[in-house]
Amino acid sequence: MLLAIDVGNTQTHIGVFRGDELSRQWRASTDPRRTGDEHALMVDQFLSMDGLSFDDITGVCICSVVPRTTQELVEMTGRYFRFPPVVVAPGIKTGVAVKIDNPREVGADRVANAVAAHSMFPGEPVIVVDFGTATTLDVVSAEGEYLGGSIAPGIDTAASGLYEATAQIRRVELKAPPAAVGRNTSAAVQSGLVFGTAGLVDGLVERAVKELGGHARVIATGGLAHPIVEHTHTIERIEPTLTLVGLRLIYERNDDEGTD
């Protein structure tokens, strides 16, 4: 069994694969202060909920945008699983060529997303919109080349900045209001956040599709995708486990023995 760990700035997404099947998944808050032993305790508790233990795991694959957490997870894997993990980093085999000015700048999660997206739509250009701490757009060519993308503030990040910078605007639930023209402050803020983010995404996707020659498949992922995607017209569907699937594929390309 493969343990796949996707560490974002806000949340950590953990999954267990039995072969190609994602059999269980969990989300936890990302805390850079967490030690390797604390990560082990958290993972052990998650596994035990499904009747599993460390001994059932035969491989670990990690992608992380938090360097301190990456190191602690590597140490945790060696100490508790007694083998080294596959860490998505420059030099790892992914099957996707990174065609940007400095390939080392690309976040590991974005590479994993590109790998999974290309496997879903081989021979077609694909755009992945990831709704997280940042809203990112990643473009993969029909040949499986990572061409680059866009980075914008995530909806929660934008909301936090708005609340911190204004004295009279309070936090609102991140959901769409009844109409774009808000009749009160809460509805107006929801309109700006939800419809504004949807409009931003549609605009970026349309520009990217035009640069690709007028055609691309467009999919979304990320913990904050659901409130936004239904209000876009460019996104085909949501793939909530896209990054974990990418980790499984990368692991398989870097493990000669395979995983049960």
Residues forming the active site: 109
Nearest to 82 by CA among 58, 47, 53: 58
Residue 148: which region, alpha, beta or left (left: phi > 0; alpha: psi -120 to 50)? left
Nearest to 191 by CA among 167, 154, 155: 155
Nearest to 133 by CA among 106, 112, 120, 151: 151
Q: Contact at 8 Å (CB) between 123 and 117?
A: no
Describe the crossing of helices 242-253 and 108-120 by its angle, rounded to 10 degrees: 90
DSSP state letter for 84: P
How far is 2 from 8, CA to CA, in rounded Å?
19
